[in-house]
Amino acid sequence: MLTRKRRLYIYAFTRRFLVTDAGIAVSAQVQQPFGQQFFRTHQKVQFTANAGRLNVSYPQQQIKVVILQNNRWDNAVRDIKPTFASRTTLEYNLETDAVFPAGKEWRWIDLRSFRLQSDRVATAKYSNTSTEIFVKPDMDRSQQKFNFFRDLNGMYRIETAESINPYWQADYATVNFSYVPPGNTLLPRDIYLFGRLTDYNLNDSAKMKFNIEKGVYERSLFLKQGYYDYSYVTIDPADPKRTAQFDLTEGNYWETENEYTILVYYRGLAERYDELIGITKINSLTGRR
């Protein structure tokens, strides 16, 4: 950013935050889609918004909805229309618009201690100035049977077993990830290390590089001590939206535990901005029907 005094500020990162003025109640459920195409691999979000005393004259135009899966904005569902609308109630029960690929429970790496190597760590190298961690090679999970376990839904926690305050005293390490494709051959798509640890970015810093001699994909990240979820995704070169896809590396299983956030925005008839008036979270296990 360049200020009026010609000072240049370069931001290392940005973070989105939301401010809400609760004016609408939202009740939601997560369902298994009926369509054969999505029945075993996707999850459908069905919900009802009750406007109450809010003056909504034209709900189709004044109300906007955004649905997030695991706090991700890269695959957010936007601009869906209600299947039923009145001045006080809007119902959303769509078989295609509010449907998400379910993915699979996230992979994990425990880096809370650099002295005691966790189950997912293969080896570690130590010097006076740095630490290097080598994660055990990851395999294709797309054909594996679904197995439920608790995860962080793609997030991470900064923690350390060796200091009192992890945010100030935790150490850093270069962490080396590797993905072994079927047959040790190059995939027809680009593959990326994915999760909050890469800010869900699909750029060069998250892109895996294929090592021809080893027949594996590799990527190194500089990470702080903590517990990290991650996955591997691919991008179809013919997809102009560059959508992250789990089908070749992880698989999609409707039973997967995911968290969904429903955001409801309202615009007054004379206003030029959208106001966040409703927010609700629902888990695919506890909110399942």
Assigned CATH topology for domain 107-235:
Immunoglobulin-like (2.60.40)
Place of tokens 């004016």: 23
The tens digit of pLDDT for each residue in 111-166 reads 999 988 889 999 999 999 999 999 999 999 999 999 999 999 999 999 998 888 88
pLDDT score for 8: 66
Q: Looking at the domain covering 25-102+255-283, what would its CATH class be? A: mainly beta
The tens digit of pLDDT for each residue in 3-48 reads 566 676 666 677 888 988 888 889 999 999 988 889 999 999 999 9
CA distance 222 to 130: 11
Closest residue by Cα to residue 103 from 35, 50, 42? 42
- Residue 62, classed as helix, strand or coil, is helix
The tens digit of pLDDT for each residue in 97-111 reads 899 999 999 999 999
State what percent of residues in the chain have pLDDT above 70. Answer: 96
Q: How many helices (H) and strands (E) does the chain have?
A: 2, 19
41 neighbors 253 (Cβ within 8 angstroms)? yes
As a whole number, mean pLDDT of residues 250-268 equals: 95
- Range(s) for CATH 2.60.40 in the chain? 25-102+255-283, 107-235
Say how many Å lie between the first and final Cα of the chain, rounded: 48
Which amino acid belongs to residue 40?
R
pLDDT score for 87: 76
pLDDT score for 36: 85
